[in-house]
Structure 1
Amino acid sequence: MSVDERKLQVLRAIVTDYVSSQEPVGSKALVERHNLGVSPATVRNDMAALEEEGYITQPHTSAGRIPTDKGYRLFVDRLGSVKPLSLAEQRAIHTFLSGAVDLDDILHRTVRLLAQVTQQVAIVQYPTLSHSEVRHVELVSLSSQRLLVILITSTGRIEQRVVENEHTDDELTRLRSLLNAAAVGHSSAQAAARLGGLLTELPEALSPLGRSCIATLLDMLGNDASSRVVVGGMPNLTRFGDEFETTVRPVLEALEEQVVLLKLLGEATSTDVVTVRIGRENPYAELRSTSLVASGYGTAADSWATLGIVGPTRMDYPSTIASVRAVARYVGRFLAEG
C-alpha cells in the first residue's frame, strides 16, 4: 500500500469515526478500531501529514482531529462506487410513494421520505412545465353558467380553474374534443401555440365559450411551478447539538428563502450524477456549516427538476448519496409512468 493510499485510509477512518461519534478522533482510537495494518507511530505520522495538507484539523479543546471541508471533499471524491440500497430499502421507497394521488402528494411524500431516511432537511423542486407534455384537458360543468377547466400533464401536475360562461353539455363535449386534439401529446410551448391557433378556427357557436377556456388554459401553461420548492425535516437540524444560535438559526433563516433553495439546487441538473457541495463550497455564508447532496429527477434523457438534502458537514456521505440517488430515480420513474 502506497503512502498516499494509506493516508487516504486513515482519513476515511477519521471521517467515519467523527460522523459516528461527533467527537474528535485520536490515533490510539484509530489503531484500536480500524485494521490499518501499521503501527500507532505510523498512524500519528500520517495524521500529522494530513493535518499539514489541510485535510484534518485539531480543535483547540481536544487532542483528537476532525475532518476539514477539504478532507470531506477528498473523502467524497474518492468514494468509488456508491453502494446500492438494499431490497428492503428499495421496497420501502416504492411503498411510500406508490399511494400518491397527484403531483403535490408525490412531492410532499418525497420530502417526508428523504428527510426520514437521511435524517437531514429535504428539499424538492417542482418540475418545470417545459419538460412535460399535456396529457389531458377536461371540462366539467358545475352549473349552466360555470364550468371547471382541468389541465393534466405528463409529470403528474393537475391544475384546475373555474370559468364563468354559459354552456350546454353538447357544447362542452365538442369543445373538449377540439382542445384535446390541439394540446394532448405536445409540450407546454407547443400546446400553447396550437391552442392560440385554434382561437381563429373555432366554430361560431363555440366561440365565446372556447375563447374563455383557451385563455384559461394558456394562463395555466404559462404558470411555471418550477420556482416552487417543498421543504421538510427542519427538526433534524437539532442534530447540530448546542450550536443553535451560531449555526442552526442562520441555516433556518436561509432555508426559508425560496430563492436560496432554488440557487442551491440549481447546479444539480443531471439525473445520473449526485452533486455534493461541502461547507465553504456553498454560495451562502449562512450555509457554510452545511453540505448539500442533490440530484436531478426525471427521465434518463431529460431532467425535470432537482431534489436533495441539506445537513451538517459531518453527515454520513455514502448512505446519504445512495438515498438521494435512489429517491430521485424512483420519483422520476413514478412521474414518467403516471
Structure 2
Amino acid sequence: MSGTEDRRFEVLRAIVADYVATKEPVGSKVLVERHNLGVSSATVRNDMAVLEAEGYITQPHTSSGRVPTDKGYRQFVDRISEIKPLSSVERRAILEFLESGVDLDDVLRRGVRLLAQLTRQVAVVQYPSLSASSVRHLEVVALTPAKLLLVLITDSGRVDQRIVELGDVINDVELSELRALLGAALEGKRLAAASSAVAELAENAPPNLRNVVVRAATVLVETLVEHQDERLVLGGTANLTRNAADFSGVNGFPGSLRAVLEALEEQVVVLKIIAATHQPGTITVQIGEETQVEQMRGTSVVSTGYGAQGTVLGGMGVLGPTRMDYPGTIAKVSAVARYIGEVLAER
C-alpha cells in the first residue's frame, strides 16, 4: 500500500474514531485539531474528498462533516492489526463470575449478562449445538425395583433425565451389569453414534437383561435423537434504546429500532447470523448489509464460536449499531467466549 493510501486510511481511522465517540459528523478542521496527521488541512480535505468518492465516507447533510459508510467500517475493521487485550483484573473477574454458574443454563445466562454489560450492546449466546455434543456420562439409578432413572450428561453440559418403567423387577447385580453395558455403549460417542450403538445393544443384550435393555434403549434412543429447537440466550436489548438515532435511516438505509427489535424476536434470524461456523478464537464481523437480513442493515454483529479443545459448542456475539467500538467489542467478545469454553470444559 502506498504512502498516500496509508495516509488516507489514517484519515478514515480518525473519522471512525471521532464519529464512534461523539455521534457527530466529522469535519476536516476537527480532524487536524484532534489528530496528529502530519499534513495540512487542505491535504485532509482532499483525502476526505477521495474517500467520499470511493464510498468510504459520506456527507449526511449539506454543509456538515462526514460519517463512515459500511464500506468505511469494513476497511477499518479489516486493518485492525492488534486488539488490546483485557487487563488481568478484568479477565480474572470474568472467569470468577462465569465459574460461579451452577449449571449450563446459569453459565450461559451469566455470559450474556456480562457481555451485554461490557459492550453496552445486545449480547447473544447459542446453546450448545446437539450435533457437536458427545455423551460424557450415563448414570442409572434404581428408583424402585421396577423403575429406573437414566441421567444422560453431554460434554456440552446438557443434562437429560428419563424414567424407564421395567415391567419387572431388577436386582442389584443386574442393575450393575446394565449400568456397565449402557456406559460402555454410549460414553465418549457423539449423539448420532451413541444412538446407533444403544440400538445395537438392544439387539444383542444378554438373555437375562434383554427386556430391561430393550426398554432402556427405547427411552435412550428417543432422548439421543430428539433434537430440540436450537435455543438462544439474549440480553441487553435495552442497550439499543441508548442509540436509537443510529437506526433511523443512516447511510440511506430505511432501518429502524423497531425493525431491529422485531428481527431479534425471530430466533432463526439471529441463529443464522451467529451460527458457529468458525473455530473458537476466530472473530467474524458482519457490517450492515453483510448480515443479509433486511431489518439488520443498520447494525453490525461481532461473533465467534465458543468451545474447548478445538470443538465448537455454539456461537455467541453482540449486535449493535454500525457506529460501534470495534476493537473494544472484538476483545470483549473474544474474552468472554474463551472463558465460557473453559468453564464448560471443566464440568
In the alignment, does 2:250 pair up with 1:241? no
Aligned pairs, number: 338
State how 1:80-99 maps to structure 2 within 5 Å.
80-99=81-100
How far the C-alpha of 1:303 sits from its partner, in A, is 2.1
* Aligned CA-pair RMSD: 2.1
Distance 1:184 1:247 in 2: 49
How far the C-alpha of 1:145 sits from its partner, in A, is 5.0
TM-score, normalised with respect to structure 2:
0.90
Distance 1:266 1:128 in 2: 10
Q: Match of 2:76? A: 75
Distance 1:239 1:52 in 2: 32
For the 8 Å contact 1:250–1:286, the answer to whether it is kept is yes
- For 2:14, what is the secondary structure of its paired residue? helix
Distance 1:94 1:39 in 2: 48
> Are the structure 2 counterparts of residues 244 and 54 from structure 1 closer, same or farther at C-alpha, using a change threshold of 3 Å?
closer
Distance 1:53 1:300 in 2: 43
> Are the structure 2 counterparts of residues 290 and 97 from structure 1 closer, same or farther at C-alpha, using a change threshold of 3 Å?
same
For the 8 Å contact 1:127–1:226, the answer to whether it is kept is no
Distance 1:95 1:265 in 2: 26
For the 8 Å contact 1:11–1:71, the answer to whether it is kept is yes
Q: Match of 1:178? A: 181
Does 123-132 or 17-26 show the bigger shift?
A: 123-132
Distance 1:324 1:97 in 2: 14
How far the C-alpha of 1:327 sits from its partner, in A, is 1.6
Distance 2:77 2:163 in 1: 51
Q: Which runs of 5+ in 2 are unaligned?
A: 249-254
- For 1:276, what is the secondary structure of its paired residue? strand
Does 5-14 or 234-243 show the bigger shift?
A: 234-243
- For 1:249, what is the secondary structure of its paired residue? helix
Tell me the amino acid that sits aligned with residue 111 of structure 1: V
Given candidates 287, 295, 301, the residue that maps to 1:286 is 295
TM-score, normalised with respect to structure 1:
0.93
For the 8 Å contact 1:274–1:293, the answer to whether it is kept is yes
State how 1:290-329 maps to structure 2 within 5 Å.
290-329=299-338
In the alignment, does 2:262 pair up with 1:253? yes
Distance 1:282 1:96 in 2: 31
Does 278-287 or 242-251 show the bigger shift?
A: 242-251
- For 1:47, what is the secondary structure of its paired residue? helix
Given candidates 330, 333, 337, the residue that maps to 2:342 is 333
How far the C-alpha of 1:143 sits from its partner, in A, is 4.1
- For 1:227, what is the secondary structure of its paired residue? coil
Distance 1:335 1:14 in 2: 41
Q: Which runs of 5+ in 1 are unaligned?
A: none
For the 8 Å contact 2:135–2:190, the answer to whether it is kept is yes
Q: Match of 1:27? A: 28
